Amino acid sequence: MSAILSADDLNDFISPGVACIKPIETLPAKEETSSNPYEVTTEEKAAAAEPPPPAQISLTDCLACSGCVTSAEAVLVQLQSHNEVLSTLDTYKSLDAPWLAQSGTKGVANGHAHANGCSGHQAEGKLFVASVSPQARASLAAVFGVSEEEAGNMITQLLSGPSGVKAGGHQGSAFTWVIDTNVVREACLVAAADEVATALSPETSKTPSTPGSEGAIDTTPKGPILTSACPGWICYAEKTHPYVLPHLSRLKSPQALTGTLLKSVLSQRYNVSPSQIWHLAIMPCFDKKLEASRSELTSSAWLPSHDPSEPVRDVDCVITARELLSLASARNISFSSLPRTPLTDRTPFPDRTLDAFLFPSTRPSRKNQSRDAGSSGGYLYHILQTYQTAHPGSTISVSRGRNADVVEYTLAQGPDTIIRMARFYGFRNIQNLVRRLKPAKISRLPGGKTGAVRRPPGAKGVVETKDYAYVEVMACPGGCTNGGGQVKVTEVEEVRALESKQEQGLVEEREVVRPGPKEQKEWLARVDEAYFSGSDAEDETAEKDQDGDEEMQEANGHDAEGDVVNGIDRKHVKGAMAHWSSITGVDMQSLLYTSYRKVESDVGKKKQSDMERVAGLAVTVGGGW
């Protein structure tokens, strides 16, 4: 998505283009009873007539269309922006739920419908929660010259602190919890490793797939398994290359999984409707807004008793790091002047086990992983480490492809190759990947060969895609730290100047020098450095907090010496996920996994006329003409 697109730049209407498959439905204006039905319209009246209103295209419509992308960009900015966050905070008062009275059992938020003495929409109230990605924190950390941990504290102070958004709001509303998606990402990494192991097992490989079930939640992906955490890549695959759907991982992204966890647990614990829980996600790219609008990521997936006609999204709004600064500016808050320390009084989550999981004592495993894991969550790296742990003495070899965004990983034990994986970042490399996954076509010519023409194995720069067990696919070159919603190098000085003016009360403008490609590369390196950085204080306090971690592990039913892979205790994570499933009464598959579907376009196809449609209906009911 475009990194320079903002709500202020939109000065035109969104009207369907040539390739838009959504019909325009304009109702005629209601005529007055005194008008003459036989009156002939003159040219003057026709010229004076009001033009029809612009076509309204929702973001869901654009997700079901393969005709355009730019319209979806504009719509998502309109529907999910910092203005929407402020408007919601000003409309609804924060719910005051009984945190301590129920001791983790089911309770009733505020006890009655008229919460906090308000009426109407304000009487309903909302429970505000937020989640923040490490890439967004890294972007802000690089802008203001702080560590990623300090940037996270500043975000929490903005959303929940006394000097944040609550200070200037009409309702005084703020976010009760601000979740680090790193902790939920650990659940994604553990589940991804299990998914690959299941898909590669001999029993699974012998099981034939049912036709038409490609991308279904209850199916096992076939190799090579492709990551599904990047919504830009998923949208591209569903619309242009549906033959890769059987290869997509069914696992939810950390953003989606965080939304499911928060809404399912909070609605159950406090006995409130999921619609009263408002979840904001702060992410590195605009495509995450597309993901939040998917019909599969709603309460209908994990709350069957909920009215299917009114599903509630797991993530209500997504804003980027740049939009978060706009949110602070709209409330006249200088982001750089916010406290860099954690909140002194944190509200406990209404479940002891999940509170310990979501808000763990600081330890190295909760940091971003090493540089070998990459800046996009480390899916491939964790799976590779999991296999290496199961094969003591094995070694990992890394070879670069035709550019820095194509990397191949091989785990071998002596001369034997155990598993091969690869990383493909950027759409140019993704196109080469999906081209090799395209199924072979049967020649219709007599005596023709079956199969597609491919370059010979072992050719220079060509790797047999079918030999990969797992491929980490991301749409942005360089990974998620280079997302379209991150603060760009061309905006850094402008942001700092704006912060300086807010602190000093200045209003004058100054010319901003536009950096070039070299400066952009250096800036991305600084963001990556912030992403992988960790404070020394975390390392010093890790041993002190170990006792608290062991208590949490004992509560989950296993000892401290668990199955640890790359600093992530798999048993601990699985115990927390099993506890989540037990308290909500929802099976793990509905909580952790989702489905994908082929998006077809009828652009250029002959559309059925009204007479043909009526005739078809008449035949189906046994009638006819």
Judge whether residue 76 has pLDDT over 70: no
pLDDT tier, 370 (very low <50, low <70, confident <90, very high otherwise): confident
**DSSP H stretches of helix in 66-162:** 70-79, 82-91, 120-124, 134-144, 148-160
pLDDT tier, 63 (very low <50, low <70, confident <90, very high otherwise): low
94's tokens:
């924060």
Lowest average pLDDT, out of 303-307, 565-569, 580-584, goes to 303-307
pLDDT tier, 6 (very low <50, low <70, confident <90, very high otherwise): very low
7's tokens:
């709500």
- Report the pLDDT value the prediction gives residue 361, as an integer from 0 to 100: 77
CB 228 within 8 A of CB 287: no
- Report the pLDDT value the prediction gives residue 601, as an integer from 0 to 100: 61
Judge whether residue 17 has pLDDT over 70: no
Judge whether residue 8 has pLDDT over 70: no
Mean pLDDT of the chain: 77
Lowest average pLDDT, out of 53-62, 200-209, 327-336, 497-506, goes to 53-62
Give pTM, 2 decimals: 0.78
> Could you please report the per-residue DSSP string of 279-344?
EEEEESSTHHHHHHT-TTSBTTTT-TTS-TTS--BS--EEEEHHHHHHHHHHTT--GGGS--S--S
Lowest average pLDDT, out of 129-143, 292-306, 448-462, goes to 448-462
Judge whether residue 405 has pLDDT over 60: yes
pLDDT tier, 618 (very low <50, low <70, confident <90, very high otherwise): low
SS3 398: strand
- In the chain, what are the helix, strand and coil shares in percent, each to the nearest 5? 45, 10, 45
456's tokens:
């010979």
**Which position has the higher pLDDT, 48 or 489?**
489
Judge whether residue 118 has pLDDT over 50: no
The enclosing H or E element of 12 equals: none
- Report the pLDDT value the prediction gives residue 30, as an integer from 0 to 100: 53
Section 491-511 average pLDDT: 65
Judge whether residue 210 has pLDDT over 50: yes
Longest dimension (CA), the chain: 93
pLDDT tier, 602 (very low <50, low <70, confident <90, very high otherwise): low
Section 510-520 average pLDDT: 69
Judge whether residue 512 has pLDDT over 80: no
pLDDT tier, 117 (very low <50, low <70, confident <90, very high otherwise): very low
Residues 6+ apart with CB under 8 A from 388: 394, 396, 411
- Cβ atoms within 10 A of the Cβ of 243, count? 13
pLDDT tier, 552 (very low <50, low <70, confident <90, very high otherwise): very low
- Report the pLDDT value the prediction gives residue 124, as an integer from 0 to 100: 74
- Residue 362: left if φ>0, alpha if ψ -120 to 50, beta else—which one? beta
CB 373 within 8 A of CB 383: no
Judge whether residue 535 has pLDDT over 60: no
- Report the pLDDT value the prediction gives residue 39, as an integer from 0 to 100: 64
Identify which of 9-23, 62-76, 403-417, 530-544 has the greatest average pLDDT. Answer: 403-417
- Residue 374: left if φ>0, alpha if ψ -120 to 50, beta else—which one? left
> Could you please report the per-residue DSSP string of 178-245?
EEEHHHHHHHHHHHHHHHHHHHHSHHHHHSPPPTT-TT-TTSPPPSSEE----HHHHHHHHHH-GGGG
The CB-side HSE value for 362 (13 A sphere, CA atoms) comes to 11
For the chain, counts of helices (H) and of strands (E): 23, 11
Lowest average pLDDT, out of 137-141, 164-168, 261-265, goes to 164-168
The enclosing H or E element of 130 equals: strand 127-132
Measure the CA–CA gap between 535 and 398, rounded to whole angstroms.
Answer: 29
Section 261-267 average pLDDT: 94
Measure the CA–CA gap between 173 and 321, rounded to whole angstroms.
Answer: 21
Residues 6+ apart with CB under 8 A from 541: 361, 362
Let me know if 211 is exposed, middle or buried by CB neighbors in 10 A (0-12, 13-18, 19+): exposed
Judge whether residue 103 has pLDDT over 60: no
> Could you please report the per-residue DSSP string of 88-105?
HHHHSPBP---TTTSTTS
Closest to 252 measured CA to CA, from 595, 596, 592, 598: 592
* Share of residues in the chain with pLDDT > 70 (%): 64
SS3 248: strand
Judge whether residue 511 has pLDDT over 90: no
Question: Directed axis angle between helix 148-160 and helix 134-144, to 10°?
Answer: 100
- Report the pLDDT value the prediction gives residue 412, as an integer from 0 to 100: 93
Measure the CA–CA gap between 183 and 202, rounded to whole angstroms.
Answer: 32
Residues 6+ apart with CB under 8 A from 231: 253, 285, 287, 288, 290, 291
pLDDT tier, 283 (very low <50, low <70, confident <90, very high otherwise): very high
- Report the pLDDT value the prediction gives residue 286, as an integer from 0 to 100: 87
Question: Directed axis angle between helix 321-330 and helix 489-504, to 10°?
Answer: 20
pLDDT in tens, 387-399: 999 999 999 999 9
Judge whether residue 183 has pLDDT over 60: yes
Judge whether residue 237 has pLDDT over 70: yes
Measure the CA–CA gap between 257 and 296, rounded to whole angstroms.
Answer: 12
Measure the CA–CA gap between 171 and 158, rounded to whole angstroms.
Answer: 16
How far, in Å, are 113, 123, 258 from residue 117 at the CA level? Answer: 9, 7, 31
pLDDT tier, 218 (very low <50, low <70, confident <90, very high otherwise): confident
- Report the pLDDT value the prediction gives residue 52, as an integer from 0 to 100: 59
- Report the pLDDT value the prediction gives residue 9, as an integer from 0 to 100: 40
Lowest average pLDDT, out of 47-51, 63-67, 248-252, 579-583, goes to 63-67
Section 330-337 average pLDDT: 91
How far, in Å, are 1, 293, 534, 542, 549 from residue 539 at the CA level? Answer: 38, 39, 8, 5, 15
362's tokens:
């600081």
- Report the pLDDT value the prediction gives residue 36, as an integer from 0 to 100: 62
Sheet holding 277-283, edge to edge: 177-180, 127-132, 277-283, 317-320
616's tokens:
């078809």
- Report the pLDDT value the prediction gives residue 262, as an integer from 0 to 100: 96
SS3 50: coil
CB 375 within 8 A of CB 481: yes
**Which position has the higher pLDDT, 575 or 214?**
575
Lowest average pLDDT, out of 181-195, 294-308, 592-606, goes to 592-606
